[in-house]
Structure 1
């Protein structure tokens, strides 16, 4: 029987966003502990862990995209996570120029 490697939700989020958006900066912060008592968290499978995240991403792919479209890009990339226990994302999505990375 092969052993199964469990990868954290934070690692999966980071990999998906880095790969698809070619992020210049990507910070994924698990803030689930701040929401442990919330009803939505209590009702998830076995009091699911890793449910709330702050994401800061800088990507050239956000160029010419308004804030709603940028967030939609992130949500679309993480749709399977949202269907499997990810409850909330706080997203900061900027272009390299907006983040002060382009001269």
Structure 2
């Protein structure tokens, strides 16, 4: 377990957790929270909505803006929902909102 609120100060725990993978998706209390570099969203095809974790570890400014303008909907996201998502996006102040073209979750 490591503190995420000051992730920019010491990323050694995060890099160790990545264990050679490009990125990791973090969970807390069995719910999806964030990646190591950005907030995330999944597209729910049945609802036609982009969903973002209701309780991320870090409430990013891009995420907050997209919630305020109604583009994102907050929801508790389970591991199973993530694994079944056909569309995933990352967002932060540096990259904006980026839908991933290719991704593999293992």
- TM-score over 0.5 for the pair: no
> What range describes the TM-score normalised by the shorter chain of this pair?
under 0.3
Question: Rg larger in 1 or in 2?
Answer: 1
TM-score, normalising length: structure 1: 0.23
Structure with the bigger percentage of helix: 1
More relative contact order, 1 or 2 (CA 8 Å, 6+ apart):
1
